[in-house]
Structure 1
């Protein structure tokens, strides 16, 4: 099957690499064309053109506004869909956003799977990402050979929107872990334990979650490690989580605390740094306070 990749940021580009490595023909489109160059894939002029050439369309975009704008209009993805095409949207967006996109796709006789992923760019490159899927089970079965190029686990959660809901739930834990690790690491440092030693204990103790392992370089050597997931996207996700919590009536005190600190770090000019930069922000705060 020919695969279209809509969005060639860090995650999208990593997915293209895995797909090509598995032998799938790939056509790509990115809003900024320069970011699509250099990939081992054909480059389409519009999202519609990419969709028209594909049996399966993967979408990986940054936020709700970008997702909806890309689906709509004469050059949008929906305009190029053929009946029977399966769209797999991996973007982290609100459940309502992906349901709206699914309705647009259905008007063309195509099917949308709500399929955000759990894991970072290195996990995609290893072929070990986890898919959280909402939508028709038969459509998921058809695209499993595609998704298996970069996934080891695929959860079918129910109707469209359930994938987005689960992704926001997972991310609420990830961001809680991120802040907890940052706070604890800075605490140990300030109390006289070397950073690398403290992190070695984290990685071999009761808190030894996969997140702790794959973020190790980012926390230990923040100046040398490229951003895998930017802090500004963390703030976006925390707002989505808050909106969903308000909608369903769920109390989430930790989310509010995480959002407050992330917003402070964002205001300090750290938005394009990796989410682990929260630790660096806390170090600055200690220094500013003379501690």
Structure 2
């Protein structure tokens, strides 16, 4: 596989053939070869490039599927590569999605529910912490990290996340929202509201205010996607959290929803009506 890995840095056709061969090779690696393979793959320069046969970073997903829990000791080697890829891909959605799938696959296949609790927590921590820290970085990296975090939180294995990790993630989300009202953060908050309502409640008012701010920005900027994400975030916060945690903000949310009932974009109107139904 060393030659095939070397071929990833060559012309597109060679790269495509190498990717196809590597997808076959990864299935048959033993523990020692797996370690060497991951080390070399992590050093590949064009890790985020499109080989035509799929993004190179997607090999991490293939490895997780093929080797299951054997991938878990290598998560700390893989995650810096994921972050580096997200940082250098200039916001390319397809690369971000490939990274998201890789993270979700490591969480799904890399944890044996029968293993000790601390080991399961550690794997989730190793997956989550680098992404959580990346929320405070450049816009491209923060967006990619948000997509990866959503995939991670949506994964069944997220139930093994420690309360400390969930709290740390909430703190990063809160700080990130204060620094820049980016709507992609809403994706993670929606996922967390469904899975970790109790922890999120401590941040409810802050998240609601941020959601309202993003909604206003979406209106000013004429950004329908931003408006939809903001409204959905507000909806899910009201739907899954204890009403007492945001009681003083509900009236404000209703007022803002009233302004957007006749939004020019259909999907925004639908989201607004769903939120008003939740509030009832």
Query: Which category of TM-score, normalised to the shorter sequence, fits these structures?
Result: 0.3 to 0.5
- How does the TM-score come out when normalised to structure 2? 0.34
Greater strand share, structure number: 1
Greater helix share, structure number: 2
